[in-house]
Amino acid sequence: MKILTFDIESCTGSPSDASLCSFGYCFSEDFEVLEKEDILVNPLPKKFRLGKKGEEARIKLAYEEEEFRRSPRFPKVYNDIKRLFLKADICIGFAVGNDVRYLNNACQIFRLPIIEYRFCDVQMLAGFIDETNKGMGLSRLGEKYGIEFLEHKSDDDAFATLMLFQKLCESCKMGAKELLDYYEIVPGVNAKDGVKGMFSLAQIYNRKGLKRSKAQSGILLHEFLREMKKRPKAQGSLRGKRVCFYSELEKDDILTARRLIKRIYDLGGSYTSDLTSANLYVTSGKEGDARLRKVKRLMSAGQRVKIVGEKEFVESLGEVEQIEFDDVSVLVKHAREKAENRMARARGQKGGAEKSKVEKYREKAGANRELAKKG
């Protein structure tokens, strides 16, 4: 398998100002490194902003600013970078979302075609394999797996990402493709029409020891409620009831929760996660029910809420349809909409043509030259 691991550094930390200043990569085949290079870029922003004003820089780049300024602008290296993505079977990054945004932003601002490729995030993979890896940065994971590298030197970060991917494969006694297949990884896609992030079917469907994230459950519930609210209001025994479940049912068992919520709407009721607007609370009856404590405080303050146990409530609903949901389509659609909104904000527009920052920069520079001549 031909693997491109890449890392990008920015001179401002912003994914909207063509601040990409280095593109580091390792190109390998079956983990044998064939190419390793740091492509330096002269970024568009006039100043490097690596920390808050008056404070020490949060990030120490591997090169002095003068070296970046002597380097070519992004359009000069665009084809070299594009070539790498085109010849790779899969592209791997660490917390790769920002890198994807930096690269896309540079393409947009310089009016160059978006580079299309599939990508995986090794940070996410590390968390799938060992829960103690979740939330760890590349530096800490490097220490854990015995990988030495110079942080914030893009090609070294890319090399460390490759070595981490190899260590994860070795820990599972699998090859690269075998590991991705085992966790049912659907690679992210960067394309002209937007970005779709990587996800694991095993995680979405709670397989292979993985558990759907709370963020994913929250998205599924939000999108489902949005669809339910579009329906004409039904007449039934729950008309006027605004139901709220205890947290574990709502967040940890999203399949059951949605089946019950659909039945609630069928009977004329509605669902809310906001306790201050609920008038029917379904409790687990256990001591750890944090929402129940809040409900009782609201009742003491005068809010009218009926409290009912889960078993009693479910029995009152009658037959609940055992519907299945297309969670993958919902999550992919949400990710695409989020990416499109982010790209629109980065362009500073919601539609229509607008001058790029490069064009504005050239116009301003031209105006300054004219003023200098007149002076």
**Each residue's pLDDT tens digit, 125-161:** 999 999 999 989 999 999 999 998 888 899 999 999 9
Specify the 3-state DSSP secondary structure of 75.
helix
**In the chain, which residues fall in CATH 3.30.420.10?**
2-211
Domain at 2-211: CATH code: 3.30.420.10
Position 347 scores a pLDDT of 56
pLDDT band at 350 (very low <50, low <70, confident <90, very high): very low
Question: For residues 89 and 2, is the Cβ–Cβ distance under 8 A?
Answer: yes
Position 215 scores a pLDDT of 86
Beta-sheet pairing, 242-245 with 270-271: parallel
Pairwise CA distance, residues 122 & 165, whole Å: 6
Position 287 scores a pLDDT of 78
Pairwise CA distance, residues 142 & 152, whole Å: 13
Pairwise CA distance, residues 244 & 151, whole Å: 47
Pairwise CA distance, residues 365 & 333, whole Å: 42
Of 104, 183, 95, the closest CA to residue 139 belongs to: 95
Of 151, 141, 149, 165, the closest CA to residue 91 belongs to: 165
Position 333 scores a pLDDT of 80
Q: What is the pLDDT of residues 154-188, one digit of tens each?
A: 999 999 999 999 999 999 999 999 999 999 999 99
Domain 214-316: give its CATH architecture.
3-Layer(aba) Sandwich (3.40)
Q: C-alpha 35: how far from its chain's center?
A: 28
Question: How much is the pTM?
Answer: 0.75
Position 92 scores a pLDDT of 97
Region of poorest pLDDT, from 120-134, 214-228, 348-362: 348-362
**In the chain, which residues fall in CATH 3.40.50.10190?**
214-316
What is the average per-residue pLDDT within 18-33?
96
Is the per-residue pLDDT at 316 higher than 50? yes
Pairwise CA distance, residues 121 & 6, whole Å: 11
Pairwise CA distance, residues 94 & 153, whole Å: 14
Position 58 scores a pLDDT of 66
What is the average per-residue pLDDT within 79-90?
96
Is the per-residue pLDDT at 338 higher than 50? yes
Position 150 scores a pLDDT of 82
